[in-house]
């Protein structure tokens, strides 16, 4: 008897608790942060997406610029985590899509009508931009994004460690493998190329004398040279002289700063932090030649501002992009030089960037000019994934390079067919 009354009681209380939870859930949904800021209905509200930059002060800087804009209330979503593109692509489909966002030029965004044509705001100052940056954002004569910063990626090395091990700066991938072996001691690994090596995929393709795509958008990476380069990468990966599984990935200077490795693949952005930790004990070199037909290469990455063409405030967003990334040169300079080092895509700003004109930064700029490869707008995320799978299968796993490259070529061709017919 008592058992039955007990179960009655618990069922009722369960219902009550559940109903309460449902109500609470509804309320919570009402209060959820939709990123649009609160309050006043006057003026436009714009939302912008940024990936989380690692350098101190960057988030505050972006918010400071936004706050200084008089014509609209711009709120910033600072997206942490390593899959910015996934979050961005997923949100772009919803009603909460940002009005403007930073990303890399990728043609599928243009073809699907996702990004707005920004030619009218860029055209007046077109000649002041690095022409390679203009080219990488242009489809059929229209410019779809404003480059904010150019980020060359290359190797940093500890001069003292190379001297001590009597190692010259590597000129070829074979020499890099040897150097890494000689530099490896009980506590220090020879080199760090990132935990999953994806940052060196394009440099390896270029340094093997190939390219991602041809000028008329055909796959160009499936060559014997690249296969040879991949075989060498596998040798390096299994040599035991590569730092693997570091707590922070290649884009963070921790590994070289903490003395975990003698050579690290990283980007220009981390140079100030490295110089602070290591002083003058630091040099740079490009991704070395990987096959006979190749030459050293540097990936000139970077970030650009795009306007969501499917958003509700396209014009206001364009106005803001024009104001900040075309007109406000002070802020553009601040953004490129005050936190990490980035190369300003505007020639007029680059010319006055004294911080980049001497010492190690100047050497970085030289690598950018001499060996740099810019983004190819036809090289999209699906193709990037295809080459990442090549690295996974035949560098981290012991797959056959030629077979992996064939598979990737098939995927890339299918994508190209969808995009270009």
Partner 1 sequence: MATTSRLDRTRPAPAEAATARPRRGRRSSPTLNFWLFTSPFLIGLVIFVYVPIGWSVWLSFFEARFTVTPDKFTGFANYRQMLDNGNFTGALLTFTVFAALIVPTTWALSLGLALLVNRMRFMRAFFRSVFFLPTACSYVAASLIWKMSLFNGVRFGLANTVIGWFGVDNIAWLADPDPPWYWLVLVTARLWLQSGFYMILFLAALQNIPQELYEAAEIDGAKRGWQTFRHITLPQLRATSTAVILLLLVAAYQAFDEFFNLLSKTTWGRPPLVELYYMALGQNQDYGAGSAGAVMLTLLICVVTLFQGRLMGFGRGEESR
**According to CB under 8 A, which one of 7, 9, 23, 163 is a site residue for partner 1?**
23
State the Cα–Cα distance between residues 59 and 51, nearest whole angstrom.
Answer: 10
Size of the site for partner 1 (CB under 8 A): 42
Of 124 and 240, the one with the shorter C-beta distance to partner 1 is: 240
Of 213 and 382, the one with the shorter C-beta distance to partner 1 is: 382
State whether residue 151 is helix, strand or coil: strand
State the Cα–Cα distance between residues 321 and 121, nearest whole angstrom.
Answer: 9
List 150's β-bridge partners, or say none: 302, 343
Shortest CB 190 distance to partner 1, Å: 14
Element (H, E) at 102: strand 100-103
**According to CB under 8 A, which one of 17, 19, 56, 403 is a site residue for partner 1?**
19
From the list 408, 10, 77, 22, the residue with the least C-alpha distance to 210 is 408
Shortest CB 260 distance to partner 1, Å: 6
**Interacting residues of 91 by C-beta distance below 8 A, sequence separation 6+:** 49, 97, 98
Cβ atoms of residues 303 and 137 within 8 Å: no
Binders of partner 1 among 236-255, rule CB under 8 A?
Answer: 237, 240, 243-247
DSSP 33: -
Cβ atoms of residues 176 and 261 within 8 Å: no
**According to CB under 8 A, which one of 17, 56, 68, 93 is a site residue for partner 1?**
93
- Interaction between residue 149 and partner 1 (CB under 8 A): no
Q: Residue 246 corresponds to which tokens in the numbers above? A: 């570091």
Shortest CB 22 distance to partner 1, Å: 4
**According to CB under 8 A, which one of 44, 55, 85, 128 is a site residue for partner 1?**
85
From the list 391, 410, 345, 390, the residue with the least C-alpha distance to 193 is 391
State whether residue 286 is helix, strand or coil: coil
Q: Residue 178 corresponds to which tokens in the numbers above? A: 């040897």
State the Cα–Cα distance between residues 274 and 62, nearest whole angstrom.
Answer: 23
- Interaction between residue 100 and partner 1 (CB under 8 A): no
Write phi, then psi, for 106 (nearest 5 degrees): -140, 130
- The C-alpha angle 366, 306, 77, rounded to 5 degrees, equals 100
What is the x/- site pattern for partner 1, positions 252-281, by CB under 8 A?
--------x---------------------
DSSP 125: G
State the Cα–Cα distance between residues 391 and 399, nearest whole angstrom.
Answer: 9
Q: Residue 179 corresponds to which tokens in the numbers above? A: 């150097």
Of 19 and 351, the one with the shorter C-beta distance to partner 1 is: 19
- Interaction between residue 83 and partner 1 (CB under 8 A): yes
Burial class from Cβ neighbours inside 10 Å (0-12, 13-18, 19+) for residue 60 reads exposed
Of 296 and 401, the one with the shorter C-beta distance to partner 1 is: 401
Per-position DSSP letters for 188-210, written without gaps between them: -EEEE--SS-GGGHHHHHHHTT-
Of 2 and 354, the one with the shorter C-beta distance to partner 1 is: 2
Shortest CB 104 distance to partner 1, Å: 13
- Interaction between residue 18 and partner 1 (CB under 8 A): yes
Binders of partner 1 among 174-193, rule CB under 8 A?
Answer: 187
Binders of partner 1 among 304-363, rule CB under 8 A?
Answer: none
- Interaction between residue 172 and partner 1 (CB under 8 A): no
Q: Which stretch binds partner 1 (CB under 8 A): 69-77, 80-88, 116-124, 148-156?
A: 80-88
- Interaction between residue 114 and partner 1 (CB under 8 A): yes
Of 172 and 195, the one with the shorter C-beta distance to partner 1 is: 195
Q: Which stretch binds partner 1 (CB under 8 A): 20-28, 144-152, 211-219, 295-303?
A: 20-28
User: To which residue do tokens 């690692």 refer?
Assistant: 54
Binders of partner 1 among 355-414, rule CB under 8 A?
Answer: 381-382, 384-385, 388-389, 391-393, 396-398
Of 98 and 372, the one with the shorter C-beta distance to partner 1 is: 98
Give the residues lining the site for partner 1 (CB under 8 A): 1, 15, 18-19, 22-23, 25-26, 82-83, 85-86, 89-90, 93, 108, 112, 114, 187, 195-196, 198, 237, 240, 243-247, 260, 381-382, 384-385, 388-389, 391-393, 396-398
């Amino acid at each position: 008897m008592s058992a039955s009354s007990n179960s009655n009681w618990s069922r009722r209380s369960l219902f009550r608790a559940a109903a309460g939870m449902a109500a609470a859930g509804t309320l919570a949904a009402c209060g959820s942060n939709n990123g649009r800021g609160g309050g006043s209905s006057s003026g436009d509200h714009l939302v912008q997406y940024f990936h989380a930059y690692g350098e101190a002060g960057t988030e505050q800087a972006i918010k400071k610029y936004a706050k200084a804009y008089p014509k609209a209330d711009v709120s910033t979503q600072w997206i942490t985590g390593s899959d910015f593109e996934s979050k961005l692509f997923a949100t772009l489909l919803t009603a909460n899509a940002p009005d403007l966002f930073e990303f890399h030029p990728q043609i599928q965004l243009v073809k699907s009508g996702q990004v707005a044509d920004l030619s009218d705001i860029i055209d007046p100052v077109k000649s002041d931009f690095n022409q390679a940056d203009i080219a990488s954002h242009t489809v059929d004569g229209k410019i779809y994004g404003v480059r904010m910063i150019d980020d060359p990626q290359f190797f940093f090395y500890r001069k003292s460690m190379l001297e001590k091990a009597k190692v010259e700066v590597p000129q070829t991938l074979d020499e890099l493998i040897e150097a890494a072996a000689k530099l490896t001691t009980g506590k220090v690994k020879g080199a760090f190329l990132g935990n999953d090596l994806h940052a060196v995929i394009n440099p390896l393709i270029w340094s093997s004398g190939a390219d991602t795509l041809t000028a008329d958008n055909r796959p160009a990476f499936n060559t014997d040279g690249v296969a040879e380069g991949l075989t060498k990468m596998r040798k390096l990966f299994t040599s035991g002289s590569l730092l693997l599984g570091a707590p922070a990935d290649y884009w963070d200077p921790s590994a070289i700063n903490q003395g975990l490795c003698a050579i690290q693949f990283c980007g220009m952005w981390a140079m100030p932090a490295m110089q602070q930790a290591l002083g003058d004990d630091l040099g740079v070199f490009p991704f070395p030649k990987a096959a006979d037909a190749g030459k050293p290469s540097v990936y000139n990455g970077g970030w650009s501002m795009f306007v969501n063409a499917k958003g509700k405030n396209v014009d206001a967003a364009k106005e803001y992009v024009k104001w900040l990334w075309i007109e406000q040169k002070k802020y553009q300079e601040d953004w490129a030089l005050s936190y990490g080092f980035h190369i300003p895509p505007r020639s007029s700003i680059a010319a006055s960037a004294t911080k980049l004109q001497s010492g190690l930064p100047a050497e970085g700029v030289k690598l950018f000019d001499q060996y740099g490869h810019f983004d190819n707008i036809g090289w999209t995320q699906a193709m990037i994934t295809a080459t990442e799978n090549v690295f996974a299968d035949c560098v981290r796993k012991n797959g056959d390079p030629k077979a992996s490259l064939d598979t990737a070529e098939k995927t890339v061709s299918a994508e190209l067919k969808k995009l270009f017919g």
